[in-house]
A and B are shown apart, each in its own frame.
Chain A
Amino acid sequence: MAQLIELPRRAVETTARTASTAVTAPFRPFRPLLPDHSVDEWGRDDHLVRLLGPLARLRWDVSVGGLHHLPAKAGALLVTNERRWSYSPLYVSLALSRATGRPVRFVGRPDHAPFGAGLRRIGALLDDPTEVHGALRHGELVVMATSSTNHPRFAGSVDHELVGAAVTAHVAVIPVASMSSPFNRTARAEVGAPIRLRTKRRGPLAEIEIAEAAQRHLQRILDELGGMQTGMVAIDWLGEG
């Protein structure tokens, strides 16, 4: 039979609580901006992502196509092209996350504060095949970029080591063509069909061939999307990216 013990409150605790209330009172209006339960097991803060959404839309108004190619629950590695300084993995992940309602992560955060820590809160992962493999194995959608190019409609090469993470995690590799302009908000993210090799490989050739196929598929989608039409052919390329 248990005994119920009336516990005395320590004066110091009450004082601390009063002090805490006094200190935090001025910040109370901002409290909804700082929820205390919004970080997932990879460090992504869904609340922060929602909060930054309107801010991101001030910069990128992304139209998304081909969503039916994305798996409903399973993980997938999404390969997107990147023009230098276009931050395409960032806007593609935010746009796809909004469109699918699933957290979409992206590869390429530096591992130092405050930038790395900040990027982790919006879903960034380290540029490490093991880290990507872990996320894919747990059914996450992960966006990785090709090597960046100077031309907006050229898809760069795809890192086959990161593709290898998808191969070993047995998830699809899906090309996502992205286009944006440095001068206006218009942006596009077109999801292509999952890459399938004609010849099934058992060894490391699989990732190399899938990486090459992903680059080809991306290039084809980019060609199909066409470029921006400014009316002045000579400077059209400036408006793309």
Chain B
Amino acid sequence: MILVSGQRLLVSGMGGELGSLVASLLEQEPWVGSLCGIDVDPPRRRLRTAQFHRIEPSDRERIVDVVTTFDPHVLIHLAVWEPDARAGTAHAKQFTTDATTAILGAAAECPSLEGIVVRSGIEIYGRNRHSLTRPDESVAPDPTSEYGRMVERIETVAQSVAQRIGVAVGSLRLAPVLGPHVPSPLGRLLRQPVVPFSILADPPFAVVEDVDAARAFVAAAKLRLDQPINVVAPGAITGLQAIMRGKRVPLPLVGPEWYLARQLSHLGGAPIPEHVMEVLHRGRLADGTRAHDVLGLVPATSTPEVIDRLFRWESVVRITKPQMRAATIHGVA
């Protein structure tokens, strides 16, 4: 595919860790002419050329105005709130629905639009009884958690927009994303001093690092992806193995006491939403080979390495006054 330089890209959810990472990678791409972002929070990285609009997901009129004025060639839709990552399940669902409706609806009004890439998750496959151990993209979605149903809805809305206006729609089904500053309920739970796990099942799961996920979005936007792709780090790990790698205290649970563990974990600042419970009880794997075939992408960090890095990240970063002054003198904000 020959790419014309000067492409306009819109990133919804640019304020989040993944969104700002995608934006910073896009700024380095020679084919990207202008970059615009929308989110409720400001970007977490220093972006040099991107324009950013701080808009509430419910403010549809302003979103439509910004999107149609920018008239993007490609929309990367990352405005997805994972339950209990930055907001509780009910709020996450509401924000995601509002943002999806407004942004994808507005994008459909843009005459230059050629492609849409949406963030989805491997939670879309669900973990019902007899569901496949390692589903690939040909497996029909059958979500069994609220987050799975949320990402399924995003894909459905994007597909319907694509059919009506005739643009390519690709969805990147990400394994649970972990990274130094990514708000992830799974990452938060694993970093607790005492971590519960299912002693009867202890199933394997896979994750992906935020940098690899961001690279996948850049590649998908560049190629005008028009199909779903799983983005999963190679390898797998079980809950107990992850706990042991982090030198945490494993708390073996069988069944009913999970309710109590969830409540206590919530009080401890690490709520365990439905889809994370599913990971611990039924596992979460997916076949990520198509990402290599289509996007030419092999995640650089394997699942056990991502887990190792998760435990290496410091819990608290305190910048004291003299250090802040020194940083200002050296020109670092």
| Chain A residues engaging chain B, CB cutoff 8 angstroms | 1-3, 5, 7-8, 10, 12-13, 15-17, 19-21, 23-24, 34-43, 111-114, 117, 120, 125-126, 128, 130-131, 134, 138
Contact = CB atoms under 8 A, between A and B. Distances in A.
Contacts of A37: 237, 241, 245, 304
A41 B236 contact: yes
Given A39-B237, A41-B236, A117-B201, 16 more contacts: A19-B193, A20-B248, A23-B249, A35-B241, A36-B244, A36-B304, A39-B241, A40-B235, A43-B283, A111-B129, A113-B281, A117-B202, A125-B133, A131-B134, A134-B287, A138-B287
Contacts of B281: 113
Contacts of B129: 111-112
Contact of B130 (A41, A42, A128): A128
B100 interface: no
Interface string B127-143: 00111111110010000
A43 B247 CA distance: 22
A74 B247 CA distance: 38
Given A7-B317, A43-B203, A126-B130, A138 B289 contact: yes
A130 B142 CA distance: 15
Interface in B250-294: 281, 283, 285, 287, 289
Interface stretch (B14-22, B74-82, B324-332): B324-332
Interface in B285-333: 285, 287, 289, 304, 314-319, 323, 326-327, 330-332
Interface in B158-211: 193-194, 198, 200-204, 206
Contacts of B330: 1, 3
B326 A41 contact: no
Contact of A43 (B204, B316, B326): B204
B148 interface: no
A222 B249 CA distance: 52
